[in-house]
Structure 1
Amino acid sequence: MATKVGAHPQYKGLSAATIKAAADASLRRLRTDYIDLYYTHFDDPSVPVEEIIMALDELVRAGKVRAIGASNLSPERLQESLDFSDRTGLARYTVLQPHYNLVSRETYEGALQTVAERAGIAAVPYYALAAGFLTGKYRPGTTVDSPRAGSAAAHLQSERGVRVLAALDEIAQERGAAVPTVALAWLAAQPTVTAPIASARTVEQLPALVAVADLQLTGEELAKLDAASA
């Protein structure tokens, strides 16, 4: 069971008081004694990493949280947080949730991925299917009924988006797999990625997502997708 702190209307930011109060509120709403994984949702540069880590460590020591993670955190602040945890022996980020997929690679690949890899942090990317674009249902001339249709369809306006869809279609056909399965398999094969996060709105969408566990792309297939999404 995972939840986040920092963006709730009543618990904004990452002050120590907010982190602890939000955790207690989450425990009540979730009707549980502990949270398996507690993320800082967005960084709060106004708060020193020392204060953030100390508050999270207090929750871990109290048994309210088992592990801590970060989302939307710069490589510099992540490294600073890890260094403080290592110096003090306090709770340490073990999971990172970055924005990362075949058409959005720049935010994670590079410095942030390097910090995660060096620290042995597990990455669990969100928007793994680019708000639905990488399911293949967004095509020229089609209309999709989805709250995220605008942001997803925007990828059709880029050469990269068109190239990625073509490569996904080709590999999916050759492997007898669904397009979203191939997109998730590429992500799962990337360094530091433990598991991609993909959302389903209907039960019918689930099989293509779950099937990623059984699809291992070849080096040639990965290289084709890399080239298309470069």
Structure 2
Amino acid sequence: MTRIGSSSLDVLPLALGGNVFGWTADRDTSFEILDAFHAGGGDFIDTADGYSAWVPGHSGGESETIIGEWLATRKPSNVVVATKVSQHPDFKGLSAANVRAAAEASLKRLGVDTIDLYYAHFDDVSVPLEETVAAFGDLVADGLVRYTAVSNYSAARIREWVGYAQAAGSALPVAIQPHYNLVHRGDVEETIVPVAEEFGLSLVPYYALASGFLTGKYRTTDAAGQSSPRAGGAAKYATAQGLAIVDTLEQIGRGHEASIAATALAWLRAKPTVAAPIASASRVEQVADLLASTRIDLTADEIARLDAVSEWSPAKV
């Protein structure tokens, strides 16, 4: 188990991504995935109020609704649910009134009294940051949210958030959710990790498997020709270096009797400040492989090999 930042949230070091629920996984399939994840020891579920508004005919909140129905029927114990605000079509942005209304809507869809971990999904520069921070603090004070967090924020804005919260004596964030994986390291390791270390925040990275590229599904540079809804996102990683990363993951994984995907997640889990990578499954058969990553402890030499093959050039100061 791992502790998320300074919170009391102890979770298996893997978050199940809920972005596919109601999108590439229908309700029944989503229930099967959630059942398998929980049966395998998984207890951390990540979603957002905007999932999956991008699907034709959807209005947002579909993922939260499915998770809420699963929670109501299964009544699992000790499950941590994280969700986010700012992207639902009816609750855009991070004004104080919107944050409150969106949280109340998420609580209703999830069927819970309190949101365990509540993220500001994307920075909203149209609203004074002090107003947003105060709104999140009020949610904690009023018992609607246990802990707060930020997603897709710059290092400078995270520092500002912490400063406002400290000055007001309100809830401090406990986690950061950045885009971070073996083929997308630079900005996170240069700027976000130092902030996380400074303030005792945990990273809960999304796109941990690079839209499926780090599963080994795409082994040539013509990934764009794949028919999967996420293949386009994976195509940009199918470079010479990207394929070398996948080859190295495969080689190291053999020594642990582990898949490419599980090994990629194990590398991410081993990085400083990372508490739990987020990975999603569209089929129940994929869940065991994701859970296997929590039982893989890469050696220092193996981590160094993956660091070297995925090396990036730091920005010039």
Please indicate the TM-score interval, normalised by the length of the shorter structure: over 0.9
Whether the aligned pair in 2 keeps the contact of 1:6 and 1:13 (CA below 8 Å) is yes
Q: TM-score by structure 1 length?
A: 0.96
Given candidates 95, 114, 117, the residue that maps to 1:15 is: 95
The secondary structure found in structure 1 opposite 2:106 is helix
Q: Which amino acid aligns with 2:250?
A: D
Deviation of the 1:225 alpha carbon:
0.4
Aligned counterparts of 1:86 and 1:152: Cα–Cα separation in 2: 40
Deviation of the 1:118 alpha carbon:
0.8
Range 139-148 or range 39-48, more displaced:
139-148
Tell whether 2:266 aligns with 1:179: no
Gaps of 5+ in 1: none
Deviation of the 1:144 alpha carbon:
4.2
Aligned counterparts of 1:16 and 1:73: Cα–Cα separation in 2: 18
The secondary structure found in structure 1 opposite 2:187 is coil
Aligned counterparts of 2:310 and 2:146: Cα–Cα separation in 1: 37
Which is helix-richer, 1 or 2? 1
Q: Which amino acid aligns with 2:246?
A: L
Q: Which amino acid aligns with 2:126?
A: S
Aligned counterparts of 2:187 and 2:119: Cα–Cα separation in 1: 18
Whether the aligned pair in 2 keeps the contact of 1:99 and 1:107 (CA below 8 Å) is no
Deviation of the 1:148 alpha carbon:
0.4
Given candidates 183, 186, 200, the residue that maps to 2:281 is: 200
Q: TM-score by structure 2 length?
A: 0.70
Partner of 1:147: 229
Residues paired across the two proteins, number: 229
Partner of 2:172: 92
Aligned counterparts of 2:185 and 2:285: Cα–Cα separation in 1: 28
Aligned counterparts of 1:146 and 1:96: Cα–Cα separation in 2: 29
The secondary structure found in structure 1 opposite 2:186 is coil
Aligned counterparts of 1:152 and 1:144: Cα–Cα separation in 2: 10
Range 43-52 or range 181-190, more displaced:
43-52
Aligned counterparts of 1:214 and 1:28: Cα–Cα separation in 2: 35
The secondary structure found in structure 1 opposite 2:278 is coil
Provide the alpha-carbon RMSD of the alignment: 1.2
Percent of pairs with identical residues: 50
Given candidates 37, 45, 48, the residue that maps to 2:128 is: 48
Deviation of the 1:155 alpha carbon:
1.1
Partner of 1:76: 156
Gaps of 5+ in 2: 1-80, 312-317
